[in-house]
Structure 1
Amino acid sequence: MGLTGKLIAAIEFKAGGDVFHELFRHKPHHLSNVTPEKVQGCDLHEGQFGHVGTIITWRYTHDGKEKKAKQVIQAINEEQKLMEFKMLEGDLMELYKAFLITIHVETKNGIDLVTWTLEYEMLNEDVEHPLSLLSFFIDMTKDIETHHVEK
């Protein structure tokens, strides 16, 4: 069995792809207001929100447990509305040797799609693929959409 994996989900986003990208790029600390049951905070450690090299720590609840994730923004492509977050420390790093989360917003046939890509290397064969985390991101995307559509 291979220890590396890649999971991808593309979700239709009715509130506008620019809204989603701007939230993650420049205002990730606002996510705790948008989806408080999932994200409790996003703290800036080094750098500035929206810039490559910035280090942030997320406080979130996943599978009923409070967790943390320290990440560096590894890449931003404004034209493609793409951001890459490389995991540095936190709960996920107890199970995975490497973990990269890419968020990409694209428009196809007038429909905005938010695509989450999880690329990872498991520490051993007993570690499960992060399907519940992908589901968490899908649900969070829907929460963000509901928050912005209702305004």
Structure 2
Amino acid sequence: MANQVETLVASSPTKTPSEKYYTFFKFHLTDIVNIYPAVYKSAEVIEGELGVVGCITLWTYALGEISMGMKVLNEVIDDATKTIKLTMLGGDALQLYKSFACTLKVSEGSAQWVIEYERTSPLTPPPLAYVPILTTLITLVDAYLLIN
């Protein structure tokens, strides 16, 4: 069986202007630990700076009752399409997946996370637990930005 990249999508409507929403994730990504502390426990820039391709962040988060970690590369920042791609360089999820990346696409009235992953084996389940987390993240950041 040839390995292939699969995708899952988490999307939700937003009320925040698209530029403000996109700018938050571009320059203040690590602030989601304050907005969604039930899942995101810590985040720190360990190389580069937020808003710049090549920035690397180190995260801890909870997936249910399990504490997880990840090292993430800010691989793509496209202001024209309001797209940010974060690729996992290391972390717990890479025990199940050969590759794992999340791409945020912001448009007027909605935000969408596309999860791209490659399974280590045909028996590896898809990372479905991330879909409701990212959908909730869209909603919480939207609510935060509407009052700040």
Answer whether TM exceeds 0.5 for this pair: yes
Deviation at 1:104, TM superposition (A): 0.7
What residue identity is the alignment partner of 1:120? Y
Q: Contact 1:31/1:41 (CA < 8 Å) preserved in 2?
A: no
Q: Between 13-22 and 42-51, report the one with greater CA deviation.
A: 13-22
Instruction: Show the counterpart of 1:100.
Output: 101
Structure 2 distance, partners of 1:35, 1:140, is: 7
How many residue pairs end up in the alignment?
147
Residue identity (%): 23
Residue 114 (structure 1) aligned to one of 111, 114, 135: 111
d(CA) in 2 for partners of 1:54, 1:47: 4
What one-letter code is carried by the residue in structure 2 that aligns with 1:121? Answer: E
Moved more, 58-67 or 68-77: 58-67
Q: 1:38 touches 1:140 (CA, 8 Å); kept in 2?
A: no
Runs of 4+ with deviation above 3 angstroms: 1-4
Match runs of 1:17-28 below 5 Å: 17-28=18-29
Deviations 1:67-96 (CA, angstroms, capped at 9, x unpaired) = 111111111101211101111001110100
Question: Separation in 2 of the partners of 1:150 and 1:106?
Answer: 20
AA aligned opposite 1:25: K
**Equivalent residue for 1:61?**
62
> How much has 1:146 moved relative to structure 2?
2.4
Gaps of 5+ in 1: none
The residue aligned with 1:129 is 126
**Larger deviation: 2-11 or 115-124?**
2-11
Find out whether 1:30 has 2:27 as its counterpart.
no
TM-score normalised to structure 1 length: 0.89
Question: How far, CA to CA, are the matches of 1:16 and 1:130 in structure 2?
Answer: 30
Name the residue aligned to 1:88: 89
1:12 paired residue number: 13
Give the letter for the 2:140 counterpart. D
Letter in 2 for 1:6: T
Report the Cα offset of residue 150 of structure 1: 4.4
Q: Deviation at 1:3?
A: 5.3
Amino acid at match of 1:118: I
* 8 Å contact from structure 2 (residues 57, 71) kept in 1: yes
Partners of 1:97 and 1:136 lie apart in 2 by: 21
Greater displacement, 140-149 / 1-10: 1-10
